[in-house]
Amino acid sequence: MSRLFYIGFHFCQIVDIIHEQKKLIIIVNMNNKIDQQTRFTLHELAIFVAVARLGTTRAAADYIARSQAAVSAALAALEATLGAELFDRQGRRLVLNENGRKLLPEAASLLDQAGQLQRLLSAGNAMPLRVAASLTIGEYLLPKLLAQWQAANPLSLVQLTVGNTNAVIEAVVSFDADIGFIEGPQTHPDLIVRPWLSDRMVIVAAPTHPLAGLTVNQRQLSEAKWAIREPGSGTRAVADRWLFDHLGQINVAFELGSTEAIKQLVASGSCIACLSIYALDQALKQGWLVEVKTRLKLPVRRLAIVLHQDKRLSKGTAEFVRQCQAGPR
């Protein structure tokens, strides 16, 4: 249980978690001296994490169903116990300072550990698997992997959040997700990025589109109407680079936040698109979309798993990471 980190002018060593009068208490040695031992509660840590993520005591109070005064008092008590401020006050907003940034991963990890301890003593409960994934991965690759994992861990709840790559990175950075799956080249200094699968991009059209069945050239692609993903999407980032490098300027008719919406739009015959082969597999097999051939070299991107460098994964989450790295079955 012993863990060492630095807050303000103190070395803080977490040496124990005890249950006392229906509260879980964190025992901390300040400056690594037994006679300077102090205590704070998991409730105070949970409030600190909520304020760190949401930016105001009012938002944190709404999130955890407490009064704003109670949240402010708990945060003040934690700062007093540690002998250091954890936030810079910028108007009504609270922004993590250096002390707060050092405490946040430790606090989030301790809350996870406390949850695991609680579930060990609660029949029928297990730690949830909290996953964030970009749209293509979340909609086309993860469902089967999650079903396989849940079959082996039937007592665990699976929580999957699907958004664009930027949203996934933010979820993992803020500890709202334990593991993330991204499509784009974006990263963050707090994250560990593990290469995962290769993904081939394909230009598609409806079978009735004028370019269907042809091997098209640069001019034909430039003049065609395109449907593309929204900014912040991994698919958009890869497509933008390829389209700019090879076509210079294209006729963007539609910008959508959903791969499925783009596929349906393309199927109507009004435009073409460049999408992941994983997103297109079924549509191509069923024939309601067809590949548009070109001699231009289409992009191949690397999908990745992202983890917070300060996050200690639960046994179940670590098992899911290993399962994913072994590849879809």
Q: What is the CATH number of the domain that holds 319?
A: 3.40.190.10
**C-alpha span between 30 and 7 (Å, rounded):** 10
Q: Residue 267: pLDDT band by 50, 70, 90 thresholds?
A: very high
Per-residue pLDDT tens digits for 142-160: 999 999 888 888 878 899 9
Q: pLDDT confidence of 327, banded at 50, 70, 90?
A: low
pLDDT for 98-135, tens place per residue? Answer: 888 888 887 887 777 776 666 555 545 567 889 999 98
Q: What is the CA radius of gyration of the chain?
A: 24
Residue 57, both tokens: 């005591």
Specify the CATH number for the domain of residue 105.
1.10.10.10
Same domain, yes or no, for 166 and 312? yes
Q: In the Cβ-directed half-sphere of 187, how many Cα atoms lie within 13 Å?
A: 15
Tell me which of 311 and 320 has the higher pLDDT. 320
- Average pLDDT of the chain to the nearest whole number: 82
The number of residues making up the chain comes to: 329
Among 120, 147, 182, identify where a domain stops: 120
Task: Report the half-sphere exposure of 302 (CA within 13 A, side-chain side).
Answer: 9
pLDDT at residue 266 tops 70? yes
**Can you tell me the mean pLDDT for 89-97?**
88
pLDDT in tens, 230-261: 887 878 888 778 887 888 788 889 999 889 99
Question: Alpha carbon of 157 to those of 82, 172, 191, 317: distances in Å?
Answer: 35, 18, 24, 12
Q: What confidence score (pLDDT) does residue 108 get?
A: 81
Average pLDDT of the segment spanning 268-285: 93
Helices (H) and strands (E) in the chain, counts: 12, 17
Does the pLDDT value for residue 84 go beyond 90?
A: no
**170, two tokens:** 């933010």
Same domain, 170 and 258: no
Mean pLDDT, residues 296-310 taken together: 89
Both tokens of 251, joined, read 């006729």
Arithmetic mean of pLDDT, 179-190: 86
Q: Which of 172, 97, 104, 100 is nearest to 134 (CA)?
A: 172
Instruction: Render pLDDT for 157-184 as a digit per residue (tens, 0 to 9).
Output: 899 999 888 899 989 988 889 999 998 7
Q: Quick one: pLDDT at residue 11?
A: 40
Specify whether 114 is located in the same domain as 231: no
Burial of 329 (0-12, 13-18, 19+ CB in 10 A): exposed
Distance, in Å, from the CA atom of 258 to the CA atom of 142, rounded to the nearest integer, reads: 17
d(CA 206, CA 200): 19
Q: pTM of the entire structure? A: 0.66
pLDDT tens profile 13-41: 444 444 444 444 444 454 444 444 457 77
Number of folded domains in the chain?
3
| Across 266-274, average pLDDT | 93
CATH number where 280 lies: 3.40.190.290
Supply the range of the domain harboring residue 112. Answer: 3-120
Same domain, residue pair 189 and 320 = yes
Q: What span, in angstroms and rounded, lies between the C-alpha atoms of 283 and 271?
A: 16
Which of 101, 120, 139 is the C-terminal boundary of a domain? 120
Q: CB neighbours of 322 closer than 8 A, spacing ≥ 6?
A: none
Q: Hey, how many other C-beta atoms are within 10 angstroms of the C-beta on 283?
A: 18
- The answer for residues whose C-beta is within 8 angstroms of residue 133's C-beta and 6 or more apart is 142, 160, 161, 162, 168, 180, 181, 182
